[in-house]
Structure 1
Amino acid sequence: MNLAEKLQSYRKQKGMSQEKLAEVIGVSRQAVSKWESGQSYPEMDKMIALSDLFQVSIDHLVKDLSADRGALALDPAPGNQATPEESSPSSTIYVRSYLYHYEYKSKATLFGLPLVHINYGRGKVYVAKGIIAVGNISIGLLSLGIFALGGISIGVLSAGLISLAAFSLGLLLAVGGVAAGTFAMGGVALGIFAFGGLAMGMFSVGGAAIASRIAIGGYANAHIAIGNVARGAYTILVEDSQFSVIYADQVRALIHQEYPGLWRPIVEWLVCLFA
């Protein structure tokens, strides 16, 4: 029995159509048809995936059973059932593969993009593009992936209007281990308004806060600096991080003095730490 015959037999034993096998392995139905008719052979990565799916070794798949007197029939008699593993020599090394791929694309579209596109897997980089996109790399209004780009992006590395990730870049809001955006929150935060362990921006609040205008934190460096260690043109020292002992009116008056045109919500955000 040759490779083409084995593939067809194992597929039928699994109760799978050519379309289903093609979907699982990550190829077209035409490719499966050519394998089973002997017109072409699977590439090595596909051969590994087939080996794992059918639970047989690669050498068992490619070896012609007609020349192997020790080989067992694929359809043993009842009561004498043998698994594919039992039909192979005990010395055979089995190769396990964890390749997989899943893709779904909705028929409904908006602006030429599917409303939902899910395209992810292992062994290859898959890109999803849609209003809602989920993939290894995703691009969409709502985007989830290892690398995400979109209006609202969530991933390991993401960029968008609103971005949440280990490494996050957001036009409006960025939240992550390292975050950069208009409003940035993270272990390291870079933004006009920055809040984090290390915060750098125009207005910064954090363990170490560095700003061009106002900084509040354990270490603060800015034109107006408030903290345990404070450096700037105007400084307010805080003992033992007791920010509540500082009067909000005192801070508010200092900000109005130096930045009289500063937008009121920003002022209130900065003074909310104080009594």
Structure 2
Amino acid sequence: MNMDFAEKLQNYRKQKGMSQENLAEAIGVSRQAVSKWESGQSYPETDKLIALCELFHVSMDHLVRGVLLEQQELPLGSNDRTTPRDRTHYEYKSKTTWFGVPLIHINVGRGIYVAKGIIAIGNIAIGAVSLGLIALGGLSLGVLAAGLISLGALSLALLLAMGALAAGFVAAGGAAIGVLAFGGLSIGVYAFGGLAIASRIAIGGYASGHIAIGDAVRGAYALAIQNDDIASIHAEQVKALITQEYPKTWKPLSDWIVALFR
């Protein structure tokens, strides 16, 4: 049985275009372990057998005892809800690599599938550009996204985060936390939104900050908009306050804030 299994394992690995090292990495063992399996010197443990069956889309019976996996499609109207695994899973890994990482890796399906590549698309995606339910990388798009630039329902980023809940250097969303924060609820060094809370400058419907500008304001320097008319706040007054309190403010940012009231 060991030799029969060994031959099948080697055939399936080659059909999938994987080296022993690739296979070992995919199921979490050493290359030497795979080599011993294929030479019949040892036999994988049950959890590794299950991982091999999932990777090659075959049944345990077929891989171990030679019983073929039923592949025929269900007839129309059948009440059997069983779906072959290979119909709910798709994987593509480009042969082109960069520093050993595939240029493109797509790994999606029903279950937990991880894609790792320069461009990664998967249930869980990790890459320079990643798209998935959970996305991690340079540019990340997903329900949960984390990276340098992230867009998602829950978004975390070092540079720019956009989402229902966003946190990053620049954050924009329903609730945003960042150095520059824009949102319904915004919290930051500079905050802009319906409810804006800032350590320096806050602008919003309700604004709380050292310099606070809005309909309802609280701060050391509070400028309240009169009669819903933003023109009641003068640009030169805002500019003078920023120059007085924060003279080292990044000029493009201070110019943009002042321009809001011109």
Distance 1:173 1:180 in 2: 8
Partner SS, residue 267 of structure 1:
helix
CA deviation map 1:216-241 (0-9, x unaligned)? 00000000000100000000001354
- Backbone CA RMSD of aligned residues: 2.7
Question: Which residue of the partner structure matches residue 80 of structure 2?
Answer: 94
Which of 95, 98, 104 in structure 1 is aligned with 2:92? Answer: 104
**Runs of 4+ off more than 4 Å:** none
Partner of 2:45: none
Q: CA deviation at 1:272?
A: 2.6
The yes-or-no answer on 1:255 pairing with 2:242 is: yes
Q: Output the CA distance in 2 between the equivalents of 1:173 and 1:272.
A: 23
Q: Are 1:170 and 2:198 matched, yes or no?
A: no
| Pairwise CA distance, 1:160 | 0.5
Counterparts of 1:226 and 1:33, CA distance in 2? 67
Percentage identity across paired residues of the two chains: 52
Contact 1:227–1:241 (Cα < 8 Å) also in 2 = no
Match of 1:107, SS state, is coil
Q: Does the alignment pair 1:270 with 2:252?
A: no
State the AA in 1 paired with 2:104.
V
State the distance in 2 between where 1:98 and 1:229 align: 60
TM-score, scaled to structure 2 = 0.73
Alignment partner of 1:146 out of 121, 124, 133: 133
The TM-score with structure 1 as length reference comes to 0.69
> CA offsets per residue over residues 106-131 of structure 1, 9 Å max, x none?
11111211111111101x20000010
Cα distance change on mapping 1:239 and 1:109 into 2, 3 Å: same
Counterpart-to-counterpart distance in 2, 1:224 and 1:255: 8
Letter in 2 for 1:54: E
Residue by residue over 1:65-92, the C-alpha shift from the partner in whole angstroms, topping out at 9 and shown as x without a partner, is xxxxxxxxxxxxxxxxxx8x7xxxxxx8
Letter in 1 for 2:66: Q
Specify the structure having the higher radius of gyration (Cα).
1
TM-fit CA distance, 1:161: 0.5
Corresponding residue for 2:25? none
Name the aligned partner's letter for residue 200 of structure 1: I
Given that 1:178 and 1:187 are in contact with CA atoms closer than 8 Å, whether structure 2 keeps it comes out as yes
C-alpha separation in 1, matches of 2:122 and 2:196: 36
Q: 1:55 and 2:74 equivalent? A: yes
Aligned position for 1:114? 102
Who is 1:39 aligned against? 66
